[in-house]
């Protein structure tokens, strides 16, 4: 099976085009002012306009008010919404748009129940938990906490890079992988060689 890949935290046209050229299926834009990868709405719109066809533009939000999400989605031309905070299923599906729900995995989280609660999500993105940090931690988590046979496709995130993505795919067998810090030279600034190596790692690991 081909494993999909998303490169998150894009702030520059050249990084989006590198991701697409290297075979990424999606690029992610962080619309969260507290993030060092927060991207200006007009700039995100310019990047999306430069994307080749068949590359999905994902907008990431953290506990954002609904009117702002709607406005950014329309202005940027987002294909998919990613909710990375404490959003409820009712909130997430209120946009009548495809969405993925990010969950920060820790032992006490009942992922089977969350998958049922977020039945309207296209997939669950599973990320590392770090207190007080909404995401983009650059940290892996214990992949054994992911139960087999979840009712939603899994997008594996958290501390992935070219070195560990192969093992991650073989162990978790996710639908897709998501990376940000592992392909950066600085926060929000991607590295061509790291993106290329990461995408080679994804292709080589296909199961
Ligand atoms: O990137 C951020 O700064 C960020 C801030 C708040 C919520 C989510 C954020 N990023 C999410 C991602 O980029 C990825 O979906 C995921 O967390 C993987 O990040 P990384 O561990 O750096 O590969």
ipTM, two decimals, is: 0.96
Tokens 């299926």 label which residue? 25
Query: What mean pLDDT do residues 112-116 have?
Result: 97
Can you give the pLDDT at residue 18? 98
Query: What mean pLDDT do residues 12-21 have?
Result: 98
The pocket around ligand 1, CB under 6 angstroms, is made up of: 8-9, 30, 32, 35-37, 60, 62, 84, 125, 127, 134-138, 157-160, 178-182
Q: What is the pTM of this model?
A: 0.96
Ligand 1, closest atom to CA 158? 21
> Does 155 score more than 70 pLDDT?
yes
Query: What mean pLDDT do residues 161-189 have?
Result: 97
Domain 4-204 has CATH 3.20.20.70: yes
Each domain of the chain, given as residue ranges in start order, spans 4-204
Query: What mean pLDDT do residues 104-131 have?
Result: 96
DSSP string, 112-158: HHHHHHTTTSSEEEEEE-BTTB-S-------GGGS-TT-SS-EEE-S
Can you give the pLDDT at residue 206? 65
* Distance between CA atoms of residues 164 and 136, nearest Å: 16
- Please choose from 127, 130, 141, 164 the residue to mutate so as to test ligand 1's pocket, defined by most ligand atoms within 8 A of CB: 127
Can you give the pLDDT at residue 16? 98
- Please choose from 8, 36, 123 the residue to mutate so as to test ligand 1's pocket, defined by most ligand atoms within 8 A of CB: 8
Can you give the pLDDT at residue 135? 87
Can you give the pLDDT at residue 169? 97
């Amino acid at each position: 099976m081909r494993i999909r890949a998303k490169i998150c935290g894009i702030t520059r046209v050249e990084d989006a085009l590198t991701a697409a050229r290297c075979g990424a299926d999606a690029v992610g834009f962080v619309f969260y002012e507290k993030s060092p990868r927060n991207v200006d709405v007009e700039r995100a719109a310019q990047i999306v306009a430069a994307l080749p066809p068949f590359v999905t533009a994902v907008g990431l939000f953290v506990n954002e008010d609904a009117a702002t999400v709607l406005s950014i989605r329309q202005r940027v031309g987002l294909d998919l919404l990613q909710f990375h905070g404490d959003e409820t299923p009712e909130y997430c599906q209120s946009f009548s748009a495809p969405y993925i729900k990010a969950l920060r995995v820790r032992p006490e989280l009942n992922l089977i129940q969350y998958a049922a609660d977020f039945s309207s999500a296209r997939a669950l993105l599973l990320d590392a938990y770090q207190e007080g940090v909404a995401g983009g931690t650059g940290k892996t988590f214990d992949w054994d906490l992911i139960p087999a046979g979840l009712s939603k496709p899994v997008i594996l995130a958290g501390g992935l890079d070219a070195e560990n993505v192969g093992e991650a795919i073989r162990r978790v067998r996710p639908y897709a992988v998501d990376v940000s810090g592992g392909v950066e030279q600085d926060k929000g600034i991607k590295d061509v060689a790291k993106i290329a190596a990461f995408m080679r790692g994804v292709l080589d690991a296909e199961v």
